[in-house]
């Protein structure tokens, strides 16, 4: 399996076998440290929505919007400000660009140095945001934070998938999403505390404390070992074999090492992974690298995670009550992600995807109905405490469905299905699409809420229907498949098998001779 060249497959190619060895303390500690890269992403998701709902922050940087909020009126349009949403979403544009550059660093220098670069840049962004005196400093700080997020999100899931034993790959990779949810919860708790600080400077503490998770991944990455896959990819076979023995806790690593060598030879033969990933043989993986992160954001989850305090304020909660409601959803998010951590390698990826999709669909429809029944088209209403509490409960049902399905699996599946030779490029595509869609949803949500009102939640529900059907039809089960033998799942799939073969079906330049996209004519 190679990009642009023919490489003989290993004896185990396409077989669902296990390798000797298990989860060692060494691997567990390395994966725990690496997974803390998710903390910086999660903390930022949680902190931005809370800060933009704080009156002292708004009055200092967005005084015109603060005046509008004091006037009351249409609840749907209270926070509709492109400059205000740019503060939140600018991070994701820079993360998109950074993730593309991170692929080259990850391939050439190893996964750990991408994590280190991400942590250092994130620290610089924290300093600028915490000391900001104008909107320009805020936005520049957010851009630096985005570079850090782009590097970490590109390298951490790949690192976790490569270090984990096959039987526990889902559990360990989901540690990244677990850290994201922990970061969100910690951010919500910090916002709830800092909003009460006298003098109105609590927002500085909220933004500045992002330096704590950034310092953890920055320092921790210096002590992380390279993965055997990365060492082979960089032409260091003896070190790779020693590392494989250490991470598996056994000397009986010949079968797994042989598969890694075959993948490593293919990887070194590929000099243009960005070009080669477009080959016909990689079509299934490329589709997953684009579709899964795209659908993950179209669930509307970041509407809840970014703007939970803003959204709850829109529903009639006071400032402190809205932050507490965000803490509740953050806690549900964390606990539900733990469910995925302990079940993903038992029930499989597809079962969680499908159940989570059905649960999110029902919850999105219910949220839209509750908001529509109370606010209607005018956006003016008084919300009784019981009604508001019911809305929070339904949102928690929605968050739980996402947290044990599309949340962790949106990072796990793209990172585990990519062949080694195009894995950094594939993961960069996943991160780039994720960041692009995160930016689009973050930037568009408040204006769309102002214009579409409660119907917006029905639009997200329609997206959930489409993505759940996509999983049912096109995503094969990857539970229990060694990462080096993942090509086999496509060879037996009713649709993707037409794209995957063991021969070289290109013209030698990474360009398809035969088109295989749906609806295209066969040349």
- Give the DSSP letter string of 287-320: HHHHHHHHHHHHT-HHHHHHHHHHHHHHTT--HH
Cα Rg, the chain, nearest whole Å: 23
Nearest Cα residue to 415 out of 147, 122, 113, 111: 111
Is 280:420 a contact under the CB 8 Å cutoff? no
* Distance from the Cα of residue 385 to its chain's centroid: 34
Is 62:30 a contact under the CB 8 Å cutoff? no
Confidence at residue 513, expressed as pLDDT on a 0 to 100 scale: 31
Confidence at residue 379, expressed as pLDDT on a 0 to 100 scale: 66
What is the C-alpha separation between 81 and 65, in angstroms, rounded? 7
HEC secondary structure over 12-25: CCCCCCCCCCCCCH
Cα distances (angstroms) measured from residue 83 to each of 291, 309, 376: 29, 18, 27
What is the C-alpha separation between 327 and 16, in angstroms, rounded? 42
Question: In order of start, what are the domains of the chain with their CATH numbers?
Answer: 25-226+270-501 (1.20.1250.20)
The pTM is what? Answer: 0.73
What is the C-alpha separation between 3 and 505, in angstroms, rounded? 10
Confidence at residue 357, expressed as pLDDT on a 0 to 100 scale: 95
Beta bridge partners of 512: 506
Beta bridge partners of 506: 512
List the pLDDT tens digit at each of the 523 positions of the chain: 233 322 333 333 344 456 777 788 888 888 888 888 888 888 988 888 778 778 888 888 877 655 455 445 566 676 666 777 777 778 888 988 888 888 888 888 888 899 999 999 999 999 999 999 888 898 899 999 999 998 988 888 888 888 888 788 888 888 888 898 899 889 888 988 888 888 888 999 999 999 998 999 999 999 889 989 888 888 888 999 999 999 888 888 888 888 888 877 766 666 677 888 888 888 999 999 999 999 998 988 877 766 666 666 666 566 567 677 778 888 998 999 999 989 998 999 999 999 999 999 999 999 889 888 877 787 666 667 777 778 888 889 999 999 999 988 998 899 888 887 788 788 889 988 988 888 888 778 778 877 888 888 899 999 999 999 999 999 999 888 887 778 888 988 999 998 886 544 444 343 343 333 333 333 3
Nearest Cα residue to 50 out of 212, 181, 208, 189: 189
Quick one: 240 exposed, middle or buried, by C-beta within 10 A (0-12, 13-18, 19+)? buried
* Distance from the Cα of residue 406 to its chain's centroid: 9
Here the tokens at position 521 are 């004519």
C-alpha dihedral (287, 288, 290, 295), degrees to nearest 10: 120
For residues 115-126, one letter each, b for 16 or more C-beta atoms within 10 angstroms of the residue's C-beta and e for the rest, the string is bbbbbbbbbbbb
Confidence at residue 122, expressed as pLDDT on a 0 to 100 scale: 94
In the DSSP assignment, the letter for residue 520 is P
Confidence at residue 294, expressed as pLDDT on a 0 to 100 scale: 94
Instruction: List the alpha helices (DSSP H) in 195-210.
Output: 202-208
Cα distances (angstroms) measured from residue 14 to each of 17, 24, 415, 483, 500: 9, 26, 18, 10, 11
DSSP SS3 for 512: strand
Q: Which residues contact 348 (CB under 8 A, 6 or more apart)?
A: 477, 479
Here the tokens at position 55 are 């009156």
Here the tokens at position 320 are 């402190």
Confidence at residue 99, expressed as pLDDT on a 0 to 100 scale: 83
What is the C-alpha separation between 88 and 153, in angstroms, rounded? 18
Is 66:58 a contact under the CB 8 Å cutoff? yes
* Distance from the Cα of residue 204 to its chain's centroid: 26
Q: Which residue has the tokens 């990857």?
A: 478
Is 26:246 a contact under the CB 8 Å cutoff? yes
Question: How many helices (DSSP H) and strands (DSSP E) are in the chain?
Answer: 23, 0
CA distance between the termini of the chain: 24
């Amino acid at each position: 399996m190679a990009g642009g060249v023919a490489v003989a497959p290993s004896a185990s190619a396409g077989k669902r076998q296990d390798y000797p060895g298990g989860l060692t303390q060494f691997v567990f500690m390395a994966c725990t440290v690496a997974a803390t890269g998710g903390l910086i992403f999660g903390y930022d998701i949680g902190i931005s929505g809370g800060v933009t709902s704080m009156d002292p922050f708004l009055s200092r940087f967005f005084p015109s919007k603060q005046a509008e909020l004091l006037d009351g009126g249409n609840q749907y349009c209270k926070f509709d400000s492109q400059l205000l949403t740019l503060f939140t979403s600018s991070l994701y544009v820079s993360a998109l660009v950074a993730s593309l550059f991170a692929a080259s660093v990850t391939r050439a220098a190893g996964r750990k140095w991408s994590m280190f670069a991400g942590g250092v840049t994130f620290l610089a962004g924290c300093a600028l945001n915490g000391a900001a005196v104008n909107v320009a400093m805020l936005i520049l700080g957010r851009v630096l934070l985005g570079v850090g997020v782009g590097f970490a999100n590109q390298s951490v899931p790949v690192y976790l998938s490569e270090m984990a034993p096959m039987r526990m790959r889902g559990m360990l990779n989901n540690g990244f999403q677990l850290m994201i949810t922990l970061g969100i919860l910690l951010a919500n708790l910090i916002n709830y505390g800092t909003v009460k600080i006298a003098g109105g400077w609590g927002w500085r503490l909220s933004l500045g404390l992002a330096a704590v998770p950034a310092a953890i991944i920055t320092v921790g990455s210096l002590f992380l070992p390279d993965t055997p896959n990365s060492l082979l990819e960089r032409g260091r076979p003896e070190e790779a074999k020693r590392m494989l023995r250490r991470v598996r806790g056994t000397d009986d690593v010949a079968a797994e090492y042989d598969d890694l060598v075959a993948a490593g030879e293919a990887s070194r033969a590929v000099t243009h992974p960005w070009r080669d990933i477009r080959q016909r043989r990689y079509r299934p993986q490329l589709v997953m690298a684009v579709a899964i992160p795209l659908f993950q954001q179209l669930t509307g989850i970041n509407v809840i995670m970014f703007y939970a305090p803003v959204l709850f304020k829109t529903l009639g909660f006071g400032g402190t009550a809205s932050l507490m409601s965000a803490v509740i959803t953050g806690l549900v998010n964390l606990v539900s992600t733990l469910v995925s951590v302990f079940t993903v390698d038992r029930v499989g990826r597809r079962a969680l995807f499908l159940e989570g999709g059905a649960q999110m669909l029902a919850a999105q429809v219910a949220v839209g109905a509750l908001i529509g029944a109370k606010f209607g088209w005018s956006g003016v209403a008084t919300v009784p405490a019981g009604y508001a509490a019911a809305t929070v409960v339904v949102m928690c049902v929605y968050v739980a469905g996402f947290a044990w399905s599309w949340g962790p699996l949106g990072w796990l599946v793209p990172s585990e299905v990519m062949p080694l030779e195009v894995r950094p490029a594939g993961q960069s595509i996943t991160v780039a699409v994720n960041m692009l869609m995160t930016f689009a949803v973050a930037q568009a949500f408040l204006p769309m809420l102002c214009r579409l009102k409660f119907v917006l939640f029905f639009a997200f529900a329609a997206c959930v229907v489409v993505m759940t059907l996509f999983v049912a039809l096109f995503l094969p089960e990857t539970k229990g498949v060694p990462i080096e033998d993942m090509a086999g799942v496509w060879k037996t799939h009713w649709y993707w098998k037409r794209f995957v073969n063991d021969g070289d079906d290109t013209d030698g330049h990474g360009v398809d001779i035969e088109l295989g996209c749906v609806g295209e004519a066969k040349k």
